[in-house]
Structure 1
């Protein structure tokens, strides 16, 4: 761990959860005076109780402004919005506000590979971790994907590499964070309730490039104009990827091959995860920049079937391929999933009604979906949207289990059965993971 002077600095940890808990312990070990604050009462929060018993000052039940007195730095939970009254006042007082990713970047002896995007970042991060595994880079996968970054950064050594999935919430709270290789996959309109506008959301994503130099690399989606504009404004060495363009200095597809700087890497036909081609191209760019051999890349890409619940290939039954994309909790993600297939698709969709419409799915109902099987609170809203699109092959069922059985009965050899709900899961399930697991179990029963 790099020596960074936090001795006697007064730090406020705002929001405990996993990141706040890890940051509090780390900063106290570095000599900081740490106060931990959470909106939940201490007595109801096991992590708060644990910190209190370890000697931390813990304030629960809200975010009183007097906590700011004498504070040098705020490390906030990524999910707490900046319009929170305490944070607004902190900005007026010019108190720096960061997320634990900033602390991790300060102390880590290992270089960072950082991945972000509106869609596909978990799959890409996981795939990069697999491509780098067993090499001299000794990857540690962390960030929004599960393990708190500052927790692993504290013990990371120079001969390791931190492969980190980062959200817009995490990136907005960075100041000097400096990845050696950054990846920006795409930018769609998302999290407007947090960021306030698409522009603010996009600017948060673009912070992944902010501190890179010509000795660093920016891997970016050349098919996304907004992503390209951010990358091209950076100082990093640019490595574009594209599914449509022949890129002399990047990664693309040519004559049936995935190509890196005009070098054939792997045949597209050999990829086990053809439905996530953009994520694959980005991961290949990182692997080649990191010195991974073509043999290793070929081995991993012919055996990687995706991340569970994220356009995950589950299996094949009587010539029908089943894909679990339960993580698709909005229509943007479902459109992305449908774009991944040329085969006829039996789409399983529906769930919690958040009051939004599905008109943006109309072109996909017209061109991509062979039959819609819908369930949950939004079932009839999705059916009405399909009717507007001229898709009359619609079946309403009670739940995901019945949807799988119905899909099998209605499908033919060569069809794709895709669970991509375009809705949150909370009307019938505790989590999208539970919904996806039920889909998988139902498929295996076939």
Structure 2
């Protein structure tokens, strides 16, 4: 078990629990730090808080009194807690550093880190890099926003383990010294503005993945995204571009037939089984990062000729009576759903809806040509229905939940149709997570 190195704080407030907060509190206690935990959820309903109190950690629940900051030297905040939270604002006012749990991960491992961020495609790219490294015989471990707490994985890692981390803007905004040996920035699109407030703040949060890199590191970036190119200019690392549209002999590129890493042919496009133009960009990024980290061309080809996607991200569920069902529950914004719709030439029945963040859905209209009907649910159902009507789609049904949506979509489907769950919205109005929403879809499909 690894110990924290170069962490100059003795008294720590962990603000917000969930998986990352609970993990950070336990790790800090193991390292001899004095830990206080503050979580808004009441302790009688808060199993994590009860367990931490059992370990001897000071636990304050049911609210956010400013006194939780007394004698505190640093705050480790749950990534989802915004910076206008009363405790976060007061900590900043008192000049107390506010960091996130991935900062601990960087202090717990001596092994290399591959960090992946972007508005869309993070999970697919992270998983591809992991699979390519594992297929090459490397000791890779998944961590970060993909579902496994980064600091826990780092604590239990060996020096030759490669930590492949999916990193959100929320996590990156709270780093001080964290550094990826290979950083990957996939794309920048409008997202999470309820949290970051402006597009500039959001882009700057993503760019922090480059912040501590040196000339001994690599920065993999999307040459086809102007915002990404601008942000990549900030790095001191060696830049490795990827492009679908133009040759880049110092990175990964596509000549219309074959994908190359520099001058080395890797795979022909028609051999890749993962569908979608957006996924093709993810694939190029994964080839760059994994090849730089030592993956072999043979291993990369092996993964790309077999990998069909991750759960909840353009996940093929089944074919039933010549209808094909895809679970894209992780499509929590308009861009992700647009990319999913663009992946198919067949008629689509689209299942969509969810949390209302105040935006409209007009940007979907250019991608609805193949959509023959929609089944909608959640807070945004009426908004998306209005968008559908503007696009000339009048076969629209509003239902209570995803299970009903599957039943209705199947009942109205025809041979050759794609039934696609791609909500274009977060899930929190009805479900605890996009995973729970996607799992309901999968179960409903298998019940048909």
TM norm. shorter chain > 0.5: yes
Q: Greater CA deviation, 158-167 or 378-387? A: 378-387
User: Deviations for 1:331-383, whole angstroms, at most 9, x for unmatched residues?
Assistant: 22211212334x13414133336254221112122xx4241222325555434
Mapped to 2, the partners of 1:250 and 1:407 lie a distance apart of 47
TM-score w.r.t. the length of structure 2 is 0.91
Question: Could you tell me which residue of structure 2 aligns to residue 352 of structure 1?
Answer: 354
Question: Could you tell me which residue of structure 2 aligns to residue 269 of structure 1?
Answer: 270
Residues 6 and 107, structure 2, Cα contact 8 Å, conserved in 1: no
User: Deviations for 1:241-267, whole angstroms, at most 9, x for unmatched residues?
Assistant: 122122111112114111111221011
> Shift of the alpha carbon at 1:303?
0.9
Aligned to 1:59, what secondary structure does the other structure show?
Answer: strand
Mapped to 1, the partners of 2:408 and 2:129 lie a distance apart of 34
Mapped to 2, the partners of 1:170 and 1:402 lie a distance apart of 38
TM-score w.r.t. the length of structure 1 is 0.91
Matched, 1:311 2:306: no
Aligned to 2:413, what secondary structure does the other structure show?
Answer: helix
Residues 355 and 427, structure 2, Cα contact 8 Å, conserved in 1: no
Residues 326 and 419, structure 1, Cα contact 8 Å, conserved in 2: yes
> Shift of the alpha carbon at 1:238?
0.9
Q: How does 1:188-207 map to 2 (within 5 A)?
A: 188-207=189-208
Q: 1:345 to 1:207 in 2, by over 3 A?
A: farther
Q: Greater CA deviation, 349-358 or 26-35? A: 349-358
Question: Could you tell me which residue of structure 2 aligns to residue 31 of structure 1?
Answer: 32
> Shift of the alpha carbon at 1:428?
6.3
Q: How does 1:228-267 map to 2 (within 5 A)?
A: 228-267=229-268
Question: Could you tell me which residue of structure 1 aligns to residue 410 of structure 2?
Answer: 405
1:390 to 389, 392, 396: 392
Aligned to 1:274, what secondary structure does the other structure show?
Answer: coil
Question: Could you tell me which residue of structure 1 aligns to residue 48 of structure 2?
Answer: 47
Residues 7 and 31, structure 1, Cα contact 8 Å, conserved in 2: no
Q: 1:407 to 1:176 in 2, by over 3 A?
A: farther
> Shift of the alpha carbon at 1:164?
0.6
Mapped to 1, the partners of 2:273 and 2:408 lie a distance apart of 26
Residues 349 and 423, structure 1, Cα contact 8 Å, conserved in 2: no
Q: How does 1:146-225 map to 2 (within 5 A)?
A: 146-225=147-226
Question: Could you tell me which residue of structure 2 aligns to residue 325 of structure 1?
Answer: 328
Question: Could you tell me which residue of structure 2 aligns to residue 73 of structure 1?
Answer: 74
1:363 to 358, 361, 366: 366
Q: 1:146 to 1:273 in 2, by over 3 A?
A: same
Residues 348 and 403, structure 1, Cα contact 8 Å, conserved in 2: no
> Shift of the alpha carbon at 1:318?
6.0
User: Deviations for 1:34-87, whole angstroms, at most 9, x for unmatched residues?
Assistant: 111112233331111111121111122222222222221111111111111222
> Shift of the alpha carbon at 1:144?
0.8
Matched, 1:337 2:340: yes
User: Deviations for 1:163-196, whole angstroms, at most 9, x for unmatched residues?
Assistant: 1111111110001111000111111111112111
Aligned length: 439
Matched, 1:423 2:425: yes
Q: What root-mean-square deviation, in Å, do the aligned CA atoms of Structure 1 and Structure 2 show?
A: 2.3
Q: How does 1:62-101 map to 2 (within 5 A)?
A: 62-101=63-102
Mapped to 2, the partners of 1:37 and 1:428 lie a distance apart of 26
Question: Could you tell me which residue of structure 1 aligns to residue 373 of structure 2?
Answer: 372
Residues 80 and 170, structure 2, Cα contact 8 Å, conserved in 1: yes
Q: Greater CA deviation, 88-97 or 310-319? A: 310-319
> Shift of the alpha carbon at 1:286?
1.2
Q: 1:226 to 1:83 in 2, by over 3 A?
A: same
Mapped to 1, the partners of 2:97 and 2:17 lie a distance apart of 18
Q: 1:375 to 1:252 in 2, by over 3 A?
A: same
Mapped to 2, the partners of 1:42 and 1:7 lie a distance apart of 30
Question: Could you tell me which residue of structure 2 aligns to residue 124 of structure 1?
Answer: 125
Residues 135 and 300, structure 2, Cα contact 8 Å, conserved in 1: no
Question: Could you tell me which residue of structure 2 aligns to residue 290 of structure 1?
Answer: 293
Residues 139 and 160, structure 2, Cα contact 8 Å, conserved in 1: yes
Q: Greater CA deviation, 435-444 or 146-155? A: 435-444
Query: Unaligned stretches of 5+ in structure 2?
Result: none
